[in-house]
Amino acid sequence: MIVKQTFTLATIGHVTRRNPSTLRTHISRGLAVAQGPRSMNSNKPSGKHARFSYFTLMEFTVAYHLQFMGWSLEKAFQLSQCFAHSGDLGKRHLGLPKRVLAVPYHKQHGETIFAVSPVTLRKICIPASRQDFHRLLKLGLESDEVQTVNVSQIFDHVCWRLNLDPRVELDKIYRVEDLS
């Protein structure tokens, strides 16, 4: 299952089409959370390439997409971390289905939109198939000014670059009994 895999910077570079040294620079500048398994003293195991979580892979991928949309690199990473590492806690009151961190909703809910308000810097993930999509955006973001990213397409891109089928991965992540 993709969410349990770890990746080298070379693999993340392959997926994001960035040089691993660029990724390393963004980590050392403190832009990326870059979570990965480490030893007790916070160092990577000796003689091994550092490996990073799926969440870090999505953090980089979403950040570079936001940068392409015109966000500064710093803001792009801040926002991508909200998708990749913190989820939509507190959004259950809006009646949204369960969503796993750094993963779009299951395909049965349609495409997943990650919406951000440049004014309030609030963010929310919503299935685009919802009839009350625009009302939920306003409630979740408390703003009329919104920029959106289709994170379902980003997830699909990541899976295909890793030679995985996104539908199969989503089925593994969201077991049928967990869907609501």
Domain ranges within the chain, ordered by starting residue: 2-36+46-178
In this prediction, residue 90 carries a pLDDT of 45
Over the chain (180 residues), what is each successive 10-residue block's mean pLDDT? 94 96 93 64 55 94 94 92 72 74 90 82 79 77 80 97 96 70
In this prediction, residue 31 carries a pLDDT of 93
Beta strands in the chain (DSSP E): 6-8, 51-53, 112-116, 123-127, 147-150
In this prediction, residue 41 carries a pLDDT of 47
In this prediction, residue 91 carries a pLDDT of 63
Give the whole-angstrom CA distance, residue 71 versus residue 148: 12
As given in the structure block, the two tokens for residue 81 are 């971390």
